Amino acid sequence: MAELTKQKHPFLMIPGPTPVPQDVLAALAEHPLGHRSPEFSKIFMSATEKLQWLGQTKNDVFIYTASGTGAMEGAIANTINAGDKVLCLVIGVFGQRFADIAKIYGADVTMLSAEPGQCISPEQLKEALSKDKFKAVTLTHSETSTGTANDLKALMPLIKEAGALSIVDVVTSLGCMDVRMDDWGIDVMLSGSQKGFMIPPGLSFIYVSDAAYKAKAQCKSPSYYFCWTQSKKALGQNTTPYTPNVSHIVALELALQMMVEEGLENILERHSRLRDKLRDGLRELGLSLLTDDSSASAAITAIYPPEGIAVPDIRKAFQQDHNIVVANGQKTLKDKIFRMGHLGFVTDENIEMGLNALKDVLAKLS
Amino acid sequence: MAELTKQKHPFLMIPGPTPVPQDVLAALAEHPLGHRSPEFSKIFMSATEKLQWLGQTKNDVFIYTASGTGAMEGAIANTINAGDKVLCLVIGVFGQRFADIAKIYGADVTMLSAEPGQCISPEQLKEALSKDKFKAVTLTHSETSTGTANDLKALMPLIKEAGALSIVDVVTSLGCMDVRMDDWGIDVMLSGSQKGFMIPPGLSFIYVSDAAYKAKAQCKSPSYYFCWTQSKKALGQNTTPYTPNVSHIVALELALQMMVEEGLENILERHSRLRDKLRDGLRELGLSLLTDDSSASAAITAIYPPEGIAVPDIRKAFQQDHNIVVANGQKTLKDKIFRMGHLGFVTDENIEMGLNALKDVLAKLS
C-alpha cells in the first residue's frame, strides 16, 4: 500500500522535464487568455525581454510552441540551403541531431565527433575549420546525453574567424551556465522550456542575430511554422504569427521574473555549486563519472553504475523506494550510465536528497 | 474600481482558446511527469486512442507539441514534392494558409476560392477537378475566419474519384461537427487543442491514412520535427520522438475522457443546438449573419455589426461591461464582422449569457 505522504508524481532528477515552482504550477491552472488580447501581448513581450536578459543579448528572441527539436529544425531551415557545407560538432545525441537535420535539408555535412564524455577542443575545431570553407557550424553547449559541456567562450572566436555562421544548442545550458550571446558572438541559439526555465515542456526559444537574418535572406529551404520572417513581423506587433501556448507563456513570464529576482550571477553560482556538490557526493560513494571536472555541465551529470549493479535496477529502486526519477543513458549509452539532472528549480536539499537516496539504493543492490 | 466578483480572466467567446473545465485546469497544475515514464506512456496512448474515437477512424494519430499551423505544415511537408499539382479550396484565411504553405514547398497550386461566407459546392469542385490531374486537394471543414463549413461528406467522394489525396483542416470542426475519417475516406486531417478539445493551445493532432503513408514514402521534401516516419516509429513504442508537452497531454486525456462520457452523439447535438440557439437569438436582435444556415459551422458564427456601430466598440463594450471576449474579423474582414465562438466546453447558459450581453452592448452603442 502506498504511504499517504507519497507525492502523486515522482520528483524528477532527469535533464527535463524539471521541477516546477508552486506559483508557476498555479499559473498553469488559470483560464487561458485570448492570444490576441492586450493583456496577453504585455505578458508575451515581458517574457521576450526577460529571455533577452537571460541570453545576455539585444538580439530578437522568438518563442515557439514546440519542443527544442522544433527550434533546432527552425535554425537549420532558416539558414541552410541544399549543398551548403556545414560542420557539425558531435559530442552526443543532440549534436548528432543537428547533423541529421542538416542532412535532411540537403547540407553537405562534415562531422567532428568526440567520444562520449569528451568535448571538442579549440585545437580540434581549428584543424577542422582549416580543411574547408564552411557556411555554418552547429554545436551543443551542454550535451544532455553525456553531461559534457563544450567551452563556448573558447570555440566561438574560431568560428567567427573562419567566417562561418554559428548555430548553438543551449537547450540545457541557458539559465544554468553562462551564455553570452552578444559578447561571444553567437549567431543563432536555441533552448527549451522544460530545462533551466522551471516550466513544463511545450515551448522553445530561438535567438537570431543580424548575421543569421542575412543568411535567412538568402535561404531557399521551405519553412513556414518556424519561419523567422513571419515570427519577426509578428514580434513587431507584440504577438506570435500563430496561436501560441498562452498558458505556458504566462507561466514562463512568471518563472523568468523569479529568475530576475534571484539574479543571473546567483543562478549561475547555484548551478555550479550544486553540480560540484553532487559530483563530490557521487565520488564519496565510490562512483565514476563520465565527464571530467574541466568540461562538466552544470545541468546534468552522467554516472557509471558500480560493477555488478544494473542501471535499470538503480532507476527502479530510486523510483520505488524514494519516488525519485533518474534518467538512463541514451542510444549507445543505454544501460551503461545513468544521469541525474540538477537544473532549474533545484536546491542544495534536492541534491542531498538525491545522494542519500542513491546511497540507500546502492546498499540495497550491493 | 473592479468588482470583487469579476473573474481575473475574461470569458472567451472566440474561436479558440476556448473555456477549459475546472478539472482540466487542475490537471495542468500538477507536477510534470517524465516523458519516458510508463505512467506517461499509458496516458499518452489513452489520449491517442480517444483521438481515434473522436475522428471515427482506425488510422494513426500523432500528437504534436505545436499549434494547428505546425500540423498544417506537417501535412504538406510529408506528402507534397516540389512541382506537384495541388488544388487548394479557399473559403477564408485558413484555406489560404494551406495554399501558402504548399507554395513554399514548391507545389504548383491552383486555387478554388469562394467569397467570404460561401462554401465550395460539389459542382464547383467537380469542375475544378476535371480541368487537371491533381496530386492532392487541401480544404477546410469549418473555416474559422468566416464560420462557414464545407460539406465534407459531399466533397470527399469527388476527391477520391479524381485519385487525389485529401488533406483536410478539421481544426475547429473536430469535436463539434461530425467528422468520419474512415467512412468518408479522408486521407490526412489535422486539428488543434484549443478548439473542441477543451484544453489550452499547445498541441495539434494529425491523422494519417494508408494512402497518406504511400505519399510520404515518395516525398522528398525536408521534414524533421513533424516527420511521420519518426512519429510512427515512436508511436509504436508508446511515445513521441521528442519531448512532448506532458502537462497538456495529461489534460487532453482527461478532457477526452469527459467527451467519451458525454458521448459523441450528444456532443454533436449540443454543438448544433447551441449554434442554432445563437443564430436565432442574433436574428431576434436584428443582426445579419455572414453565413447561410445551410453551411453554418457548429463552432463559430460571424456577425455583421448593425449600421453605425463599429466592431471595435462592440468588442470593447463586451469586455469592459461583461468581461467577455468576442473576436474581430481577420484580414479583409477586420472591422467588417465580429465572431462568436461556441465550441468545446460551452453550455446553453453561456450562449444565453452571450446574447444577453450583446443585447446590452447594442443598446448602449445605439
Looking at the predicted structure, is the pLDDT value of residue B8 above 90? no
Return the residue matching grid coordinates 492586450.
A38
Looking at the predicted structure, is the pLDDT value of residue B269 above 90? yes
- Tally A–B CB contacts below 8 A: 172
- Out of A29, A67, A106, whose CB is closest to B244? A67
Assessment of whether the complete model's pTM goes beyond 0.90: yes
pLDDT at A1: 47
Which residues lie closer than 8 Å to A60 by C-beta, 6 or more apart?
A207, A208, A232, A235
- Which tens digits make up the pLDDT trace of B59-96? 999 999 999 999 999 999 999 999 999 999 999 999 99
pLDDT at B7: 85
The pLDDT-based confidence of B1 (bands split at 50, 70, 90) is very low
Beta bridge partners of A301: A340
Q: Mean pLDDT per 10-residue run, chain A (366 residues)?
A: 77 96 97 96 98 98 98 98 98 98 98 98 98 98 98 98 98 98 98 97 98 98 98 98 98 98 98 98 98 98 98 98 97 98 98 98 97
Q: What angle do CA B347, B353, B356 make, to 5 degrees?
A: 145
- Which tens digits make up the pLDDT trace of B198-235? 999 999 999 999 999 999 999 999 999 999 999 999 99
Closest alpha carbon within chain A to B201: A245
pLDDT at A7: 85
- Do residue A202 and residue B202 have CB atoms under 8 angstroms apart? yes
CATH code reported for the domain at B11-19+264-365: 3.90.1150.10
pLDDT at B2: 58
Percentage of chain B beyond pLDDT 70 is 99
> B183 to chain A nearest CA, in Å?
31
- Do residue B245 and residue A245 have CB atoms under 8 angstroms apart? yes
In which element (H, E) is residue A108 found? strand A108-113
Which range, of A8-12, B127-131, B213-217, B292-296, averages the lowest pLDDT?
A8-12
Looking at beta carbons, which residues of chain B come within 8 Å of A234? none
- Out of A19, A66, A105, whose CB is closest to B66? A66
- Do residue A224 and residue B35 have CB atoms under 8 angstroms apart? no
> A324 to chain B nearest CA, in Å?
11
A203 and A65 in contact (C-beta within 8 Å)? yes
Provide the pairing of β-strand A136-140 with A60-64.
unpaired
- What is the C-alpha separation between A351 and B101, in angstroms, rounded? 48
Render the burial of B18-27: b for 16+ CB within 10 Å, e for the rest. Answer: bbbbeebbeb
> A160 to chain B nearest CA, in Å?
28
A28-260: CATH topology is Aspartate Aminotransferase; domain 2 (3.40.640)
CATH of B24-260, one of 3.40.640.10, 3.40.50.300, 3.40.50.920, 3.30.70.1400: 3.40.640.10
Task: Please give the ipTM for the structure prediction.
Answer: 0.97
- Do residue B201 and residue A245 have CB atoms under 8 angstroms apart? yes
The pLDDT-based confidence of B4 (bands split at 50, 70, 90) is confident
Closest alpha carbon within chain A to B34: A17
pLDDT at A8: 87
- Out of A32, A37, A200, whose CB is closest to B200? A32
Looking at beta carbons, which residues of chain A come within 8 Å of B311? none
B106 and A222 in contact (C-beta within 8 Å)? yes
- Do residue B202 and residue A248 have CB atoms under 8 angstroms apart? yes
> A297 to chain B nearest CA, in Å?
20
Each domain of chain A, given as residue ranges in start order, spans 11-19+264-365, 28-260
- Out of B17, B26, B223, whose CB is closest to A32? B17
- Do residue B34 and residue A25 have CB atoms under 8 angstroms apart? no
